[in-house]
Each structure stands twice: as structure tokens, then as C-alpha cells.
A and B are shown apart, each in its own frame.
Chain A
Amino acid sequence: MSTPQEIDEAAVSDLEPQDSASSALPASASDETDGRSASRRRALALGVAAATALLAPRRASAQRIVRPLTTRPAPPPASGDTLLRLVRRITNGVTEEELNLARSLGFQAYLEHHLNHEAIDDARVTDFVAANYPAVNQDVLQLYTQNQTTVQYALQDATLYRGAFSKRQLYERMVNFWSDHFNIYYPKVNYLKVVDDKDVIRKNALGSFPEMLKASAHSSAMLEYLDNTRSRANNVNQNYAREIMELHTLGVDGGYTQTDVEEVTRAFTGWTIQGRGGFRFDPTGHDFGAKTVLGNTIPAMPTSAGAQGVTDGERVLDILVAHQSTARFISYKMIRWLLRYDPPAALVDKVAETYTRTGGDIKAMIRVIMTPANLTAAPAMYRQPYHLMLASLRAAQPSVANVAALRDQLRNMGQYLFFWEDPDGYPHNTDWWGGLILQRWSFEAYLSARTGDVLGVDVTKFMTVSTANAIADSMNQLAFAGTMSASLKTRVAQYLAAAAISQTRVREAFGLALSSSEFQWF
């Protein structure tokens, strides 16, 4: 980790924290947020100053005084023109083909091309998935009869394959985002997650947030994962009620109380699943009494209302999607995903306003986030392992018969798909991922050495030229769309030149280019 700051006595009197001052808030959502209020920071600075003073007596014996960091290092700047930055952000890795498309369409038309994902011809990938991973298109009754390991692998492998090779790259980026937002731990629900992936996440990833939330609330996988299937009148389980507010809509600082958790819990009593999967409202488990949720009264019903009791939960969903905290929280998280770790307050306001005006239209929100000015101002972000794997595959353009071997490679890098146990989804920050670097290098060494048809990387295409410099140029052009920095290209060439050039040597050089520091950021 980062080295603590070394300071001398003179510096003790001038302890200003080093954090960025303009971050926007639902701090809760983020592990990267640096500040909520100036006064907080000042109080903290005083705390550190006082603490540092305690170190003084040790100076006599110690050679230096260290001041432990309380803030995190800034991410590196991003490079390239706005078009390249856009391609980086809305795809899982820049390719020559993708960059050419962007250049021919121009910024706005390229963004619209990806927002209009259904119009993009993706038959090759759709057919491959249908042929190799039929489970992802099946319903619960079919899924229930399958070998469950096969079903799990089908979802994981299809997700990897689509993420890397689908032409609908922005859509895949958002599928990734919502899969974490509405995280479900596969082993707790098994094949029900496959249905959730299809009917909740993929159906709505570039659609309407309220529709997606409602689909999630009716999803067997979610009801099972967060225990609502076990919540009955007078015998409640608060798990789903808490997380739908904390994680799915309002954010932890969104203004709800423990009483709201209890009331929302009551509203959702009786929301459960039937048979092998499918939403069912069970009136015998519902609490028909009056509830007050976030200041809104939901009147009592007679028990004889029966199936009408489901409207309590539906009312809660309407309250949540219309809430200003939801607009801000979802905006904040989308900006963190697509643009930068520290969303500026003004942009959160603007995107939230768009959410409210459009009724949670995800595409409209993305249009506000992905502007040339915003991209120019945004520093780089650190690739999660899944993203790194996809970017590597897009650079390598391997021949692929199946991606089964990659499943465990991803596990080794810390991101076995759909296996994050807690409902907050895989972390999206450099604190968590920044340390686990060796496993990334190991993966790139593995990938670049693949030959054959199952998963084969062809490096001879870089070798139509003979000198180390020319091969590095060729690699930069064909695999990295010309985006390598000059210094990286030089170092790749140096590695090539340090031994006789062979296919093995070129593979290693390619593996190093993928392992390089700059390829970890996007």
C-alpha cells in the first residue's frame, strides 16, 4: 500500500488533509468518497494533528516521524481525445474495429449507436450463447430439471462470452453494473439467478429503473436471497426491506429510519415464491394493518381484501422510485460506474433531475453523464478483474470454442462471477482491487500463451514484420488500437529485443503489455 507520509516537525503545524474537496455525497454508496462536509474534515484534521503530536516524544529515538494517511491517493489522469475516452468508458475494452466505428460516427452518434442496443446486430454472439449455454434462455421448470452445476457454469460462461464479444458493449457494461447493484449470491438461490439475470437485469439494463426495481422485487431469486420468502405477518424478516432501501433505492443516508425498515417489512409480508420459482402473493402471510412509509400512510385493509394486499408492497415500490434520494443515489452510482469514482455534486444534481423528469430513464441519464466535457475532466478508473479479463480478450481476439477455462482464472483474480456473498455487489474501488496484482499478471501470462482451437491466441499477426520495434508497433495497432503510450511501446520492444525473437518471445511480450500498469486503468 501507499507509503505513509514522512513529515518533519515543521509540517506538524500545517496538517491539511489531502482529500479532494468537491465530492458529492451519498457517501454511503461509495468506498471512494472523500468527504461529506468541510467541518467533518476539519475535525478530522484536528484529530490527526493531536494524534501526531503524541508521536513527538518518540522523535528522540526514532529517525523519522510518519504520519499515517487517512485519505486515498488520487487516480492517474486519463489520456486520449474525448472519443477514445468515450470508447474506453462504454465498452469492455478498446479495439481497432470499435475505435474506427466511433471515429466514423462521431461522438454523439456513436453513443446513440450503443444506447440503441437492440438495433445492433449481435446474431453471432446470440447464436453462440444459444448453442453453447442453452440454460440462460430457459424457464424455471426447464432449469429445475437440469444438472445444477451445468446451469451455473452456463450463466457464468455466457456472461463472460457476451461481455467480451457482444457488439452491444455499453449494454454489457450496464448489465455488469446492475448485476452488482441488485447483487445475488448464486449458491443461495441457484438456478433462480439465471432467471433473474434474464428477466430483471438484461431486460432492463438500458431501460427504466422503476421497471427494473419492480421486476427485482418480484424476482424469485431476490425474494429468496434476501429472505422475503420467509417474512410473514407477526413473524417478519427485515432483510429485504432494509436492503431495498439501503442498497437498491434510497442509499443508507437517504432519509429512512429503523421504523421505516419495520414498516416496509410489514408491507412486503406475503411476497414469496411458488413451486420451482415465480412470484406469489400469499394473503395468509400478509399484515393488512396500516403502515407509514417515509411519511406516506398506507391505509389498513380488511383481511378479506385477500389478494388486494399485494398493493401495499407495490405502493412502497412507487414511493421508493419517486423519492428524491433514489434519484440521487442511482445517479451517483451510475456516474461512479461510467465516469469517475468521485462524482461532482453538480453532475449528481443534473443526472438526478433527469431521473426525476424522465421517470428513471437510464438512457437519458447516461446521455447527461457521457459528455465530452465530463469525459475530459474524468481521471482514469481501475479495472475490476472481470473488466480486465474482457479487455484482454478483446485485445487478444482469440479463437474461442468455449470459455470454461476462464471461469477459474477469474476466480483466481478474485471475481468468480455471481459469488459475491453480500448484497452490496463486488466493490468498485481501488482499495479493494488495487492490491491483488500478481494474479492479474498470472492470468495474462496464461492467456497470451494459449494456442489451439478451444482458446487460441494468434500472435503471428504481429510478426509480419521482423524488428522488435516494428513488432511492438504492430501489436499496438492490432491489439491495442494504437492506444499504447510511447513508453510502454518502447519497453515492449526492449523486452522483444533482449532475446532472439520467437513466437514464444512475442507471446510473453504481449502478456507483459496486457499486464502493464497502464492496461489496469481505463
Chain B
Amino acid sequence: MSDIDHDGCDDGCTEFRQLSRRQVVGGMGAGLAGAYFSPIFPSWLPQVVLKESEDTTRDVIVSVFLRGGCDGLSLCVPFFDTNYYAGRPNIAVPRPDSGAANRGIALDNQFAFPQAMNALVPAFRAGQLLAVHATGSIDPSRSHFDAQRYMEVGKPADTTIATGWLGRHLAAVQPMRTNAGLRGIGISSGLQKQLVGAPKTIPIPDPSNFTIGGTASTRDSRESWLREDFGASAEPVRSAALDALTTIDLLQAIDFTGYRTANGAVYPNTTFGRGLRSAAALIKSDLGIEAISIDLSGWDTHSNQDPLAGSMYNTMLNLSGTLGAFHADVIASGLAQNVTVVVMSEFGRNARENGSMGTDHGRGNVMFAMGRNINGGRVLVNNWPGLAREQLDRSQDLKVTLDHRDVLAEIVRVRLGNPNVGVVFPDFTPTNRSVTK
């Protein structure tokens, strides 16, 4: 950003500012703890829920996509590999056994979280957060857009598939709840590719504000007019319109504002934090939603990456604070409904820093899976490929030694109860990595 003033930021920087201010106030959580507690106990809350669910043996999946290619070597630091430090004189996270204040938090004797990921340590220690390293797509593309597309459609280097892996998963299983009005949501201003093709699935940027506006007294008649009008529309607009109309009442019955989290969990007041907080409320309100897709961007750290105090630090703080809150609120809270979270990004970044204290597009990366039935508390690696120049892909990047679809396919089969992995990941034979318990 150099010397350019940021006063013009309208919403892109809001998160950054809010986070920064809260840090000054004294860490995540403290400042806003009371804000989410409503004096009125929402009628649909709390732990009632899900007893009515017709199938609680299958997990709800929350898929988090880190857009921009996150630097897995900062998110989950291979401190045991001396080449990590050799290649990153300015942006490395100090070893956990160093005396530095911002030293890493050891996960085992090889890998560490940076301080910004501290909020996810409890989930890791509870054995419910799995980190998978040197993973990613087997496609070598270093283009954001190709790499994202191949990951989201679930098949590398295939431009013919228009639908996403989660979309085909939902289409290939019976609804968890018969007659569910809504089975999938993209918490997004457009439908993410991974959900394309899913029945009863629409993007909803803000579930707490879902209305057609206008005068209340004519709402019903306008809604039926629209239902009739869109009944003859072309797809995918027809289904989206009808699903939206069905969903208005469902969502309006939920008191998102007064939503009371479990275990005192506090979500960061960021777009991402509010999004997952809404996701938690949706899951607990038992509408039959099976898949939620949400993105967090800001990972394309070509310059001034600074995982210790700067831009990537803040992005990681947002990620870990939100997922940590979701873990406490939903996963650790004894909810009858199991939920599995997966976190991935299109590629990792160069092993060595570039000339502007950032990193350019790379290959192998970290991904995460979180849930009560995830075999977590460890960093899963299929032979660490190493960070010495001769060990790197194109002498630059961490190699991919574990296809990310191995992780997803096992979750689809074991946790989402879908034996048709071939539909979800066409032409792929997964290797079992014991990702689930």
C-alpha cells in the first residue's frame, strides 16, 4: 500500500480496522463479549433442535475457501526445516523454542502455529482439528482462477465440468431432512463454484437480512406473483427464485441478532465472523441445511506479508478467531448434530520470500479439517518433501505429496454418508489417510 491513504476504504478495510482496534483494546473477545447476548431468549434456541432431524448420522459440512492462495508455511510453520528460515529472512515465524515474543506455538516437534492462529489451539489440543500439510491440487496451475476452479469442481485440469464437488454431493444423497426448504447456502454475494449444481441451494450474503422489501401488507401477494412468474423461468434462476421464496419465512423466523452462542463463544465482528455466526445459527435452527460454503479472501500476499504483526497476521486472526469461536459454539458444545469444517485454498506460496517481503504463487499448502469425528490433534504429512532448493517444485515451491481430495473424499464417504465418491470426485481413487475417527 506504500504511502497511499486508506480513508477511501468503504468496506474492504473495515475488517482490518475493527480487528486492529480490538487488538489494541486487549485481544479477541474481551471487548465485545456482551454484544451478542440478547436479554430475550429466542424461542427456537438453544439445544432443543436437531432432535427432530431425521438423520443425524450424517454431518453438516462447512466448507471454507481461503481465496488468493494462502501461505501455508506461515499458517502452519515447519520450524524443523532449517530451509524455511534460510529462505525467509524477513517474514519467518520464530521457532517455538526461541525467546521471541512472537514465537510459534508448537503443535508437535515439527510444526507450529503462529501467534495469530492461537485461537485454534484449543480445537487442536482437543484432537478435533487436523492440519494436513504439503497438500493441494495435483494440477500445477499457478493461476488463481484455474486452480480455484479445479479444486471447486473436484477434478484437476478439466474445463468441461460445470458443477462443484459439494453441488454433486448434495445432488447424490437424499436430503437429511425430507422436504427441507434449503439444503445448501453460500454465504456469499454469488454462488461459489463448489456449490453449483446443488439442489435447493442459493447464495445468501447475509442470512439475517433476507427479505423482498416493500410494503408488508402486500408481501404475500407479491411473493405469489413472483412464484408464478419465475416458475417458467430458465435455470438456474428458476430454482434459485423458488428456493429464495421458500426460504424467506424460514430465515425470518430465526432471530440472528439475538442468537446466543454456546460456551461463551464470541465471533469476531468481521464479515467472515458474522458469516460463520449466522452459519452456526442456521445449523442449530434445524432447517435441514447440509452444506454451507463461505470464503475468506486477502491471502494473495505478494508484498508485506508480515505474519507476525501485519496484513497476514490480521487475516489469520480473523480466520482463527472465527473458527475458534465456531469450534466452541458448535463443535465442542455437545450439539446433537455433528458438523465437519474443511478449510482449503487454491495453492500455497513460494518457499522463499520475494523482493517485497511477500511470497508469489506456489504449490503445496496446508489445509484443515475440524470436527468431533475428525482424527485431529496432529499435523498429517505424507512424507515432508523438504524446502531445500532441489526438493522444491520448480526449485521454488513446496511439493504436493498428498492430494487434497484424499481428505475430502474420506469426509464425504465417512462423515457425509455418501458412498458415491466417484460422483463427487470423478475419475479419482482416493488413498485413505485416516482423516476421520
Q: Say yes or no: A435 contacts B420, CB within 8 Å.
A: no
Cβ contact of B226, chosen from A186, A190, A441, cutoff 8 A:
A441
Compute how far the CA of A44 lies from the CA of B425 in the bound complex, rounded to whole angstroms. 11
B306 contacts chain A at the CB level, 8 A cutoff: no
A239 in contact with B355 given A224-B2, A517-B229 (CB within 8 Å): no
Compute how far the CA of A209 lies from the CA of B234 in the bound complex, rounded to whole angstroms. 35
B319 contacts chain A at the CB level, 8 A cutoff: no
A431 CB contacts on chain B under 8 angstroms: 162, 190-191, 193, 196, 236
Q: Say yes or no: A68 contacts B171, CB within 8 Å.
A: yes
Q: Say yes or no: A70 contacts B162, CB within 8 Å.
A: yes
Q: Say yes or no: A4 contacts B171, CB within 8 Å.
A: yes
A-B residue pair count with CB separations less than 8 angstroms = 309
A449 CB contacts on chain B under 8 angstroms: 214
Q: Say yes or no: B213 contacts A442, CB within 8 Å.
A: yes
Q: Name the residue of chain B whose CB is nearest to the CB of A407.
A: B10
Interface string of B189-205 (1 = CB under 8 A from A): 11101011111111101
Compute how far the CA of A410 lies from the CA of B5 in the bound complex, rounded to whole angstroms. 25
Q: Name the distance in Å between A353's Cβ and chain B's nearest Cβ.
A: 24
Q: Which segment, of A51-59, A108-116, A125-133, A392-400, faces chain B?
A: A51-59
Q: Say yes or no: A419 contacts B356, CB within 8 Å.
A: no
A427 CB contacts on chain B under 8 angstroms: 190
A19 contacts chain B at the CB level, 8 A cutoff: yes
Main secondary structure of the interface of B (DSSP, over half): loop
| A residues 26-59 touching B (CB-CB < 8 Å) | 27-28, 31, 33-36, 40-41, 43-44, 47-48, 50-52, 54-55, 58
Q: Say yes or no: B236 contacts A430, CB within 8 Å.
A: yes
Chain B residues bordering chain A, tally (CB within 8 A): 92
Cβ contact of A230, chosen from B13, B190, B234, B355, cutoff 8 A:
B355
Q: Which segment, of A72-80, A166-174, A308-316, A362-370, faces chain B?
A: A72-80
B98 contacts chain A at the CB level, 8 A cutoff: no
Q: Say yes or no: A422 contacts B144, CB within 8 Å.
A: yes
Compute how far the CA of A62 lies from the CA of B214 in the bound complex, rounded to whole angstroms. 43
Cβ contact of B161, chosen from A44, A75, A438, A508, cutoff 8 A:
A44
Using a CB–CB cutoff of 8 Å, the interface residues on chain B facing chain A are 1-2, 4-13, 67-68, 141-146, 149, 158-163, 167-168, 171-172, 174, 186, 189-191, 193, 195-203, 205, 210-215, 218, 221-222, 225-226, 228-230, 232-241, 243-244, 248, 297-298, 300, 302-303, 354-356, 358, 360-361, 394, 419-420, 422-423, 426-427
Q: Name the distance in Å between A44's Cβ and chain B's nearest Cβ.
A: 5
Using a CB–CB cutoff of 8 Å, the interface residues on chain A facing chain B are 1-4, 17, 19, 27-28, 31, 33-36, 40-41, 43-44, 47-48, 50-52, 54-55, 58, 62, 66-76, 144, 147-149, 151-152, 185-192, 224, 227, 229-232, 234-239, 242, 246, 252, 258, 261, 380, 382, 411, 413-416, 419, 421-424, 427, 430-439, 441-443, 445-446, 449, 488, 491, 495, 498, 504, 508, 511-512, 515-517, 520-521
Q: Name the distance in Å between A109's Cβ and chain B's nearest Cβ.
A: 33
Q: Name the residue of chain B whose CB is nearest to the CB of A30.
A: B159
Q: Say yes or no: A508 contacts B222, CB within 8 Å.
A: yes
Q: Say yes or no: A437 contacts B244, CB within 8 Å.
A: yes
Q: Name the distance in Å between A8's Cβ and chain B's nearest Cβ.
A: 16
Compute how far the CA of A292 lies from the CA of B436 in the bound complex, rounded to whole angstroms. 49
- In the complex, given contacts A54-B422, A68-B168, A149-B8, what are 8 additional A-B residue pairs having Cβ atoms less than 8 angstroms apart? A44-B160, A48-B423, A66-B172, A236-B354, A434-B235, A435-B240, A441-B213, A445-B222
